[in-house]
Amino acid sequence: MTFMKPGSWPSPISASLLAVAGNRNTNIQVVGDDLWWDEMRPSESGRTLVISRKHGDLLAPPWSASSGVHEYGGISWHGFIRDGVSFLAFVNKADQRIYVGAVGTEPIAFSPEPPEGEEHRYIELHYVAGELWCIREKHAEGRVTRALVAVSESGVRVLDDTSHFYAHPRVSRDGLKIAWVCWEHPQMPWDGTEIKIARIHDGQLVAPKVIAGNTSESCLNPEWGVDDQLFYISDKSGWWNLWSVDKAGNTAHLVNDRSEWGTPLWQLGPKTMTTLDDGRILAIHGAVDKQRLVIVDPKTRIAADIECEFNDFIPSIAQGNGKAYAFGSGPSHLNTLIEIDLHTLQVRNIFTKPFPVDASFFSKPYQIEAKRNDGRSVFGIFYPALNPGFEPEEKPPLLVMVHGGPTDHVNAPITLGHSYFTSRGIAVVEVNYGGSTGYGREYRNVLRGAWGIVDREDVIEIVDQLIASGEVDSDKILIRGGSAGGFTVLNVLVNSNRFAAGASYFGVADCTALALETHDFESRYLDSMIGRYPEEADLYKERSPLTYANNLTSPLIIFQGLDDKVVPPAQSEAFRDVCVAKGIKHEYFAFEGEGHGFRKASSIITSYESELKFYGEVLGFTPH
């Protein structure tokens, strides 16, 4: 074993390996007797493919199945069988139109070209009697509107346009009813939503009515059962749990569990619960570091976890032909497509992404907890520095990672991204600060009116805990974050002297500018996170890192996508200009063709390599 300065340990996990092996899977669907899933490939300029178990890649370049609805997208494709032939419908990234093609044929445009000066985007497609029923987002004359629509070769029919936001349309098994989720400004979908149902008659929606939810209850993921019962996820109990409503409109809390069965709707289409053909329910639930697959019998209300080696699941479940499918990862596996036999509940790996280097280079995370002075707990996921060939000659540096949202959370998977740093001798902690999901509604609401305060305080609480426990070097604390995580990074750096350097990825610098310039989906988000604008404009200024930018002394590296519609480049440029004016060590990277989050291998490689090099210059190590 060699003793060597942390940060400089040679590692086989390179930024180029991270980009090449960083394909992301998000959705699965059973199509006839086949299984399809999607995959975002940085090595192919970040395009999203649809892959068939039988036929391989279904989309040749340059096609990319990626919707721009809400700017974050979600499930942007759908497979269906017509006259015994498998068809793929998808939203093409380049023009946001729907294209359809039989497997093995070139896709053709299905949705009409929008009028000049307008942009129409689609998402969550479903094949219904020769049409594609879905959500349409229309950008026209400076306004954004949405509707449930039916798209066919003859045009687009509006099914419902009475709400501002829509999610998760679901047609009943007999084709006679439809359910969907909807909400209005200023609510976000984790604040309060409604589930509506309507009868379907001659292709029209009849007598829509609210059957669950309100402005203070978040309902998600409605799914029809075999007997016309509707199942859904609600946080009425304080946790996103499994509920049902019967034909008479009676609701029931099927499983009372102090863990989450749902996930925030940052992207449209996540599916953490599905109904099975035999009447049972398959779902994902559990603590952020110990997620489980669970089978529920709605008649007995008995829930039984399925035994498997995975503890983290992508929020997508598919079922058909006596099998169910999910993507899971665990202490010994990267992302793995698994098959569950619904009769025996045995789990089998269909394919797994092999460790691109020896598994001993991957740090195994665990949850830590710190107590604030007010008694509230703060949670983090800690990844110790780990390399089989080296021991630290001193306490390792700590890289604090702050998730975005801010209403989001991190789980505890083994990842290449974390191990890129830990295998070089830098410990990592992901902070699930107050306001994060995964810990119930009460914890989620801690950030209401307190964004810029609670998140900053909780990050420092976790750092102090790790320093006090002797895990890390108190003089070598680094911090990085993207979007809302970048906001927290900047706020921490201008309000604390604990940090040696920071990295902001498209971080929010000016809350007022964000309120005035951001996209429609989040345009009223800050009402709950800070206060109403312009009535409380002074509060927006007070919470903005840019207001206190003259306090900045820590070196700062900044990354920004020039096509970002969520946090426009001006936000990052403002802090770049502060660094220039104050003579603070800094670097600024602006990427053409990247939006809110980087998809291209070249951008990923440049950002990781530059960030690590920057930290080395600050802390005095040479990366290998």
Q: Cβ distance 548 to 520 under 8 Å?
A: no
Q: What is the structure's pLDDT at 418?
A: 96
- Does residue 98 lie within any of the structural domains? yes
Residue of 357 and 163 predicted with greater confidence? 163
- 343/364 same-domain check: no
Please, what is the angle between helix 454-468 and helix 484-495, to 10°? 70
Domain ranges, residue 593: 2-15+357-619
Last residue of some domain: 352, 374, 394? 352
377: nearest Cα among 438, 443, 429, 441: 443
Give the separation between CA 221 and CA 242, rounded to whole angstroms: 10
Give every CB contact of residue 254 below 8 A, 6+ residues apart in sequence. Answer: 231, 241, 242, 243, 244, 281, 296, 298, 301
Q: Which tokens in the block code for residue 566?
A: 């969520």
Confidence of residue 334 (pLDDT cuts 50, 70, 90): confident
- Tokens representing residue 2 in the block: 């060699």
Q: How far apart are CA 38 and CA 24, in angstroms?
A: 8
Does the pLDDT of residue 16 top 90, yes or no?
A: yes
CA-to-CA distance for 218 and 441, rounded, in angstroms?
9
Stretch among 16-25, 281-290, 370-379, 536-545 having the lowest mean pLDDT: 16-25
Domain contains 278: yes
Residue 21 has pLDDT above 90, yes or no: no
Residue corresponding to tokens 């493919």: 49
536 and 573 part of one domain: yes
- 495 with 552, same domain: the answer is yes
In 353-437 the beta strands, taken as DSSP E runs, fall at 366-371, 377-383, 390-392, 398-402, 427-432
- Which of 288, 214, 303 is closest to 255 using CA atoms? 303
At 2 the pLDDT is: 65
Neighbours of 200 (CB within 10 A): 19
User: Does residue 479 contact residue 402 with C-beta atoms inside 8 Å?
Assistant: yes
Q: Are residues 337 and 363 in the same domain?
A: no
CATH number of the structural domain spanning residue 301:
2.120.10.30
Sorting pLDDT into bands at 50, 70 and 90, what band is 578?
A: very high
- Tell me the pLDDT tens digit for each residue of 397-410: 999 999 999 999 99
pLDDT of 109 strictly over 90: yes
Q: Of the candidates 330, 352, 374, which is a domain's last residue?
A: 352
Question: Per the structure, how many domains does the chain have?
Answer: 2
Tokens 């503890």 identify what position? Answer: 311
In this predicted model, what pLDDT tens digit does every residue of 455-508 receive, in sequence order? Answer: 999 999 999 999 999 999 999 999 999 999 999 999 999 999 999 999 999 999
Best CA proximity match to 382, nearest among 462, 501, 319, 482: 462
CATH assignment at residue 524: 3.40.50.1820
How many whole angstroms separate alpha carbon 255 and alpha carbon 178? Answer: 24
- The answer to whether position 347 is within a domain reads yes
**CB-based contacts of 250, cutoff 8 Å, min separation 6:** none
Pairing status of strand 556-561 against strand 586-591: parallel
Closest CA to 254 of 228, 276, 271, 236: 236
Query: Is residue 384 within 8 Å of residue 378, measured between CB atoms?
Result: no
User: For residue 146, is it within any domain?
Assistant: yes
69 and 145 belong to one structural domain: yes
Residue 1 has pLDDT above 60, yes or no: no
- Condensed to tens digits (0 to 9), the pLDDT of residues 201-242 reads 999 999 999 999 999 999 999 999 988 899 999 999 999 999
Q: How far apart are CA 133 and CA 123, in angstroms?
A: 9
* Claim to verify: residue 238 and residue 123 sit in the same structural domain: yes
Name every residue whose Cβ is closer than 8 Å to that of residue 425 and which is 6 or more positions away in sequence.
4, 5, 6, 7, 8, 9, 385, 387, 390, 392, 396, 397
> For the residues 249-255, what does the mean pLDDT come to?
95
**251 and 377 assigned to the same domain:** no
Phi then psi for residue 113, to 5 deg, are -70, 130
- Residue 409 domain flag: yes
* Token code pair at residue 534: 């312009």
Q: Per-residue pLDDT tens for 136-183?
A: 999 999 999 999 999 999 999 999 999 999 999 999 999 999 999 999
Is beta strand 155-160 parallel, antiparallel or unpaired with respect to 165-171?
Answer: unpaired
Report if residue 45 sits inside a domain: no
Residue 4: how many CB atoms within 10 A of its CB?
18
- For 113, the token pair is 């070209």
User: Same domain for 429 and 547?
Assistant: yes
Of 14-23, 43-52, 404-413, least confident by mean pLDDT is 14-23
The whole-model pTM stands at 0.95
pLDDT band at 35 (very low <50, low <70, confident <90, very high): very high
What length is written for the chain?
624
Of 335, 352, 369, the one marking the end of a domain is: 352
Residue 26 belongs to some domain of the structure: no
Reply yes or no on whether the pLDDT at 555 is more than 90: yes
For residues 224 and 369, give the distance between their C-alpha atoms in angstroms, rounded to a whole number.
39
What does the CA dihedral 125, 127, 130, 134 come to, rounded to 10 degrees?
A: -30
Q: CB of 559 within 8 A of CB of 571?
A: no
Sign of the torsion formed by the C-alpha atoms of 161, 167, 173 and 177: negative
Q: Please check whether residues 310 and 416 belong to one and the same domain.
A: no
pLDDT at position 595 is 93
Model pLDDT for residues 435-456, shown as the tens digit of each residue: 999 999 999 999 999 999 999 9
Same domain, 267 and 367: no
What b/e string do you get for 406-445 counting C-beta neighbours within 10 Å, with b at 16 or more? Answer: bbbbbbbbbbbebbbbbbbbbbbbbbbbbbbbbbbbebbb
Specify whether the CB–CB gap between 519 and 570 falls below 8 A. no
pLDDT band per the 50, 70, 90 thresholds, residue 354: confident
pLDDT of 3 reads 65
**Does the structure show a pLDDT above 80 at 45?**
yes
Q: Say if residue 491 is in the same domain as residue 535.
A: yes
Instruction: State the pLDDT at residue 23.
Output: 78
The answer to the question of residue 318 being in a domain is yes
CA distance 295 to 305: 6
CB 574 within 8 A of CB 510: yes
Residue 22 above 80 pLDDT?
no
Strand spans (E) along 483-580: 501-505, 556-561
Peptide bond into 406 cis (omega under 30): yes
Percent of the chain whose pLDDT exceeds 70: 100
- The arrangement of strands across the sheet holding 251-255 comes to 219-224, 230-234, 241-245, 251-255
Give tens-digit pLDDT for 60-69.
999 999 999 9
Instruction: Give 512's pLDDT tier (boundaries 50, 70, 90).
Output: very high
Is 559 in the same domain as 581? yes
Q: 624 to each of 5, 470, 612, how far by Cα in Å?
A: 12, 26, 10
Encode pLDDT of 595-614 as tens digits.
Answer: 999 999 999 999 999 999 99
The CA distance from 443 to 436, in Å, is 7
Q: Which of 130, 128, 167 is nearest to 147 (CA)?
A: 167
Cα-Cα-Cα-Cα dihedral sign, residues 466, 467, 472, 478: positive
